[in-house]
Structure 1
Amino acid sequence: MTTDHHITHIEVAPGFHPHERELAALLFWQAFRGKLGRIMWPEARALEFITSNLDPEFALAARDRNGNLLGMAGFKTAEGSLLGGGFSDLAASYGWVGALWRGPILELLERDIEDGVLLMDGIFVSKEARGRGVGTALLSAIVDTARHLRMSKVRLDVIDSNPRARALYERQGFVEISKEDVGLLRYLLHFRTSTRMQRALAS
């Protein structure tokens, strides 16, 4: 796929370069630290795990005209997801004891894929690039990716502590289809509900 998007000198293209891996991991952590911090802490080990397990095959990267990384969006299919890694990878970063309790909790946060539906697996933009249309460009590229893969819908989940992201998704045609209360996990995750949103794609 060679789909590129230009919005005020923003280009979105598949994957990320090897030299961008550490920055991509840092941006991912900054975006999701509020959600995952108590599970993935300490920060050094979280960054180690994320850096090792980001998969460029399931990433779309936004860059400025000078090639600087501004943000990324991930997606999940039956073949994999943006942040991969299994129990052994967790153990490599946190030790076996640390992996034993983190693994099941992270598994609870996983979202199942559906036939004909592309699952967006996270979107994050650097603080310096926010408000420049990067998120909109990445969402547009996710939709194009879904069409390229012959999917009929795009699905995502947004937490109640991130109203700004939900507003962006609504502007881009996503509608709420269900809401889930995380129950006692709220004490670990810093949010109470997760809303599933979906956008149907014209055939």
Structure 2
Amino acid sequence: MRIIHGIPPDQIDTAAALYWQAFGGKLGRLMRPEEKALRFFAQVIVPAFAISAVDADGQLLGLAGFKTDAGGLVAGGLADLARVYGWPGALWRGPLLALLERELEPGVLQMDGICVSAQARGQGVGTALLAAIKERAAQRGDRVVRLDVINTNPRAEALYRREGFAPVSRESLGPFRWLFGFSSALRMEFPVAGAGAR
């Protein structure tokens, strides 16, 4: 396994499939059918905001996305949604997807998703990707790495706790829980050693 910055150009479709595999339970009701969701994510994934794990053949094993004031892993807007779902579909999906957006703060590297292929789980891929994200935050001079983990994903929460992330708050989705398939998200943060104010 190698950790690289970005996503190999020939692996964008695989990245979209991994993203859907990881977040389809959360986004499924909004982004179905799967074929359209995969097409949408393949169009809007921005490789510059990803760190990838690849095998010896360059095949994608997993990726971790992040978000800064310059952009994020998934950068689609209404026009991108309309290209896949048509304007009627884009106009109702767009505002609902906006509910999941997180405000950026100076000195905070916001994680924008982490996904590991089913066949690579249990091989340390997630741990290696988190280490690379922490390193990226330190290089940028960020003081904190922040992420949100949904209440229906205890396995991910356990990984983040093992890797030094601590809970700071919990946000309820209220009535939107029926749409997204989870009821709350736990915000967790990792303090970046030696980071100063930017």
What is the TM-score of this pair, normalised by structure 2? Answer: 0.96
Deviation at 1:65, TM superposition (A): 2.7
**What TM-score does the superposition give when structure 1 sets the normalisation length?**
0.94
Distance 1:68 1:88 in 2: 30
Once the 2 structures are TM-superposed, how far is the Cα of residue 66 of structure 1 from its aligned partner?
3.0
Contact 2:11/2:59, CA 8 A, preserved across alignment = no
Q: Which residue of 2 aligns with 1:61?
A: 52
Q: How does 1:145-156 map to 2 (within 5 A)?
A: 145-156=136-147
Q: Is the 8 A contact 2:50 2:65 kept in 1?
A: yes
RMSD: 0.7
Q: Deviations over 1:55-101 (max 9, x none)?
A: 01100000123322100000000010001111111111110000111
Separation in structure 1 between the aligned mates of residue 75 and residue 132 of structure 2, nearest angstrom:
21
| Secondary structure, counterpart of 1:12 in structure 2 | strand
Which of residues 61, 69, 72 in structure 2 aligns to 1:70? Answer: 61
Greater shift in the superposed pair: 57-66 or 134-143: 57-66
Unaligned runs of at least 5 residues, structure 1: 1-9
Matching of residue 138 in structure 1 with residue 148 in structure 2: no
Which residue of structure 1 lines up, in the alignment, with residue 26 of structure 2? 35
CA distance in structure 2 between the aligned counterparts of 1:11 and 1:144, rounded to whole angstroms? 15
1:83 matched to 2:74: yes
Structure-to-structure mapping, 1:164-179, within 5 angstroms: 164-179=155-170
Q: Secondary structure, in 3 states, of the residue corresponding to 1:76?
A: strand
The share of aligned pairs that are identical, in percent, is 54
- Which ranges in structure 2 are unaligned for 5 or more consecutive residues? none
Q: Deviations over 1:117-140 (max 9, x none)?
A: 000100000000000000000000
